[in-house]
């Protein structure tokens, strides 16, 4: 098969690669679309230590089954599928309780670190265990389906957060995941969603995608404006979707007493915590990571149009052009959000 192989840091080659040999519980998926993730872009220069060459990256994919292993019963060639980016073990304490994102033995497709190497989906074919497969609704394109991992991160974050009818929600940081959180909140019935970002164009996109209010992060009257929109008390539930000291601070300062802060972003490994504010205002801090079983619901949300993902798809080039698109993303080219490679 043809595969886009990271040969050494920042050097790719599209080359012939052995088609994976199936284990009894695996299926072979003919990949039709696979998204380039920020973690791939950061990984390709060696800085994350999680893309040690040689590796076929790619964990946000969709395609159709071309072959099934001997022990596979409920899937057949031709089925249109997507799959979890994480291969969970299905047997550990966490998996047994449905917390598959916290699996003790989780392996991410397209990752090679000190512990393992698992080739991913920037290739014509990828082998995945049947337990991580999800069937695509008929009206969903492979491109839309390849966006489901990002959607699931947002939907899981919203699910982790206590919401009530009158909840005024705040989303700090409206990059792609933040914009998906905005949409997931609206899909969950939240009537008041305030978006905060430094960039005007992201805020207008937030409004287009369902935010009821948008405020620039450097607005001198930011906290007054948030309070004015929340009965004078502050936001009930806030989502931090950046992960920097300044945005964590803004988020904590913007919630009411007894409110919750859902921490999604994690650009920095460590930030200062205003301990006394959290304690004396009885704030709830909620961490959220990846997703745990939300894929079917997310596929329906995309198929029904309740969550718009096409807005984020910047380009769908063939696999052969992968290297140059990686470089453009690495350079931080303006206006590029999600690039989906089509093997």
Residue ranges in contact with Zn ion by CB under 5 A: 37, 88-89, 92, 95, 103
Does 54 sit behind a cis peptide bond, omega within 30 degrees of 0 on the bond before it?
yes
Nearer to Zn ion, 37 or 237 (CB): 37
| 329 backbone φψ class: left, alpha, beta (φ>0; ψ -120 to 50) | alpha
Cross-strand pairs, 33: 62
Q: How far is the CB of 38 from Zn ion (least distance, A)?
A: 7
Q: How far is the CB of 108 from Zn ion (least distance, A)?
A: 8
Q: How far is the CB of 312 from Zn ion (least distance, A)?
A: 13
Q: With CA atoms as reference, report the closest residue to 82 among 25, 148, 36, 37.
A: 148
Handedness of CA 85, 86, 87, 93 (dihedral sign): negative
Would you give the DSSP letter of residue 312? G
Q: How far is the CB of 106 from Zn ion (least distance, A)?
A: 7
CA distances from 192 to 25, 26, 185, 199 (A): 45, 44, 9, 21
Q: With CA atoms as reference, report the closest residue to 67 among 27, 31, 30.
A: 27
Query: What's the start-to-end Cα distance of the chain, in Å?
Result: 10
Tokens 């980016």 correspond to what residue?
85
Nearer to Zn ion, 146 or 301 (CB): 146
Q: How far is the CB of 62 from Zn ion (least distance, A)?
A: 14
Q: How far is the CB of 265 from Zn ion (least distance, A)?
A: 14
Helix and strand counts by DSSP (H, E) for the chain = 11, 19
């Amino acid at each position: 098969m043809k595969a886009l192989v990271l040969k050494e840091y920042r050097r790719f080659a599209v080359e012939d690669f052995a088609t994976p040999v199936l284990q009894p519980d695996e299926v072979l998926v003919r990949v039709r679309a696979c998204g380039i993730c920020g973690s791939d872009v950061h990984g390709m220069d060696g800085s994350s230590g999680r893309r040690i060459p040689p590796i076929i990256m790619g964990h946000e994919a969709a395609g159709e089954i071309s072959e099934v292993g001997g022990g596979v019963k409920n899937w057949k060639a031709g089925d249109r599928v997507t799959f979890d980016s994480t291969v969970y073990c299905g047997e550990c304490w966490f998996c047994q309780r449905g917390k598959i994102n916290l699996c003790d033995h989780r392996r991410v497709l397209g990752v090679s670190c000190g512990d393992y190497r698992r080739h991913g989906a920037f290739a014509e074919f990828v082998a995945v265990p049947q337990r991580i497969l999800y069937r695509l609704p008929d009206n969903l394109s492979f491109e839309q389906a390849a966006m489901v991992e990002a959607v699931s991160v947002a939907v899981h974050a919203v699910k982790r957060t206590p919401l009530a009818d009158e909840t005024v929600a705040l989303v700090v940081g409206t990059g792609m995941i933040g914009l998906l959180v905005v949409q997931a909140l609206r899909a969950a019935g939240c009537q008041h969603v305030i978006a905060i970002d430094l960039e005007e164009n992201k805020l207008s996109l937030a409004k287009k995608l369902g935010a009821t209010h948008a405020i620039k992060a450097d607005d001198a009257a930011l906290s007054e404006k948030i309070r004015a929109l929340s009965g004078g008390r502050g936001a009930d539930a806030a989502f931090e979707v950046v992960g920097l000291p300044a945005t964590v601070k803004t988020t904590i300062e913007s919630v009411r007493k007894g409110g919750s802060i859902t921490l999604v972003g994690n650009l920095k490994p460590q930030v200062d915590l205003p301990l006394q504010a959290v304690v004396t205002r009885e704030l709830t801090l909620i961490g959220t990571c990846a997703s745990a079983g939300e894929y079917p619901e997310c596929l329906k949300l995309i198929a029904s149009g309740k969550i718009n993902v096409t807005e984020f798809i910047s380009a769908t080039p063939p696999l052969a052009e992968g290297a140059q698109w990686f470089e453009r993303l690495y350079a931080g080219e303006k206006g590029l959000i999600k690039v989906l490679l089509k093997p």
